Structure 1
């Protein structure tokens, strides 16, 4: 499969939001606090994606959005792959693109937050060379402000 990458544009928003909502639901709905799960609506993700469009890169396959990541300074803030592309090397390619962005921005140590209990994601991050550092509180963005929850913090030294 050939993956290409580009900065997100407004025309990608519907696919980004769909992938984000499905991915978040698949990975987090069973492990996140119920109050947070209620706030992770399609509308809330649409607002966030629209507000942060300049931080999002999409991975394209045959003209369709297959995955996306969002980078905020030294943080890999969001990382989601469409269900149809999971297990096909898409996440590995998406991570390589994110790490290239960090490198190009001269980031020496990148970090990401992984939901406690999201073993599939944690295993992928470890395989990709990221290292668990600690449990830490994170202020998750919600429409009413923020929601504090503990997460696993992973870091990677970027070459």
Structure 2
């Protein structure tokens, strides 16, 4: 893969990741499960969910808890192609979140984490997550919904 192809792939997968976290932050994750393959693994800072149905149920429970504001901010996005159809992505995630409705008091990020993802190219050319694993590096006392 030449440099231009690698940069295009990085842009495409970073845009996918930004769209995913936008879905979580703006829509409460109502369509988040659609970003994963059927047997995907989603490991939050608290527990692991296996399969699209379990991921969908997690986001449903998250919405059922009531009002919550979250902003997932990505930094230092990297891609490591393993094949034409499988790519490993890594980035730093800053999570700003609290229960309630905006405008909430401003605080530092409640978590800084390293995120590892494996993304698979589908037969229609789209990309879906095979796995997403969140590895906290810094945390405060604010509970996450994981």
Kindly indicate which of the two structures has a greater share of residues assigned to helix. 1
TM-score (norm 1): 0.29
Kindly indicate which of the two structures has a greater share of residues assigned to strand. 2
TM-score (norm 2): 0.30
